[in-house]
Structure 1
Amino acid sequence: MSDISKSRRVFDTAFKMSVVAEFLQGTHSKRSLCNKYSIPSTSTLRSWIRIFAPDNELHDTPMPKKPQSENEEILALRRLLQEKELCLKREKMRADFLDEMINVAEEKFQLPIRKKAGTKR
């Protein structure tokens, strides 16, 4: 019986960022980029997008291409505004959650966790 081991290909961070940037331009699909750069699967590329473009809420679709008419541009801008408002709402909820978590931890462990305002002189 032969011992066959699969070798993992390691990509450097600069390469990952350049591939993600190319995807976000909207000129290539995930599959075409995977084929172009010999990336094992689209899930690998999807994870890179989540890491290097966290503000991109549409991880499974590229950034929208330039609209052809003024009405399409207005609709695209409205969709973008809704996405940004949703992202802002999530971040506000996250900040509130973290703030409450710190309050509970300070109360439970009787330790000051937050930094005091101002700097020491």
Structure 2
Amino acid sequence: MNANLKEIRKLRVYSEEFKKGIVSFYESGKYSVLQLERLYGVNNVTIYNWIYKFSTFNEKGIRVVEMKDSNIDKLKQLELKIKELEQAVGQKQIKIDYLEKMIDIAKDEFNIDIKKNSNTPQSAGSLRTRK
């Protein structure tokens, strides 16, 4: 019985607007063909065909070649951004440590408890007092 069954191929049809959108993402330099393939689940050969068909930069008979340097530059930029963010986090941590030390000094020298005590009962709010 199973011998008569055929596997149905999934044929996806994409709108021309979608295809041009993918090509514009590629041309903007934000995404590589491999990244677009992973994001949208479209085969890279199909994306290259769309680039040949819809790209404003590519002429017929010219092959599209992605330079590895562009990916390396993107990686360097991302590493630099990570370094800057780690530095900012480090500076914030130093500031937090400083403020905590100041709170401890205020508590020891002036008997001021700045940190909120978790056992403190909640305020009932401000009620009008009778005169």
TM-score by length of 1: 0.46
TM-score by length of 2: 0.43
Structure 1 or 2, whichever has the larger Rg, is 2
Question: Relative contact order (C-alpha < 8 Å, sep 6+): which is higher?
Answer: 1
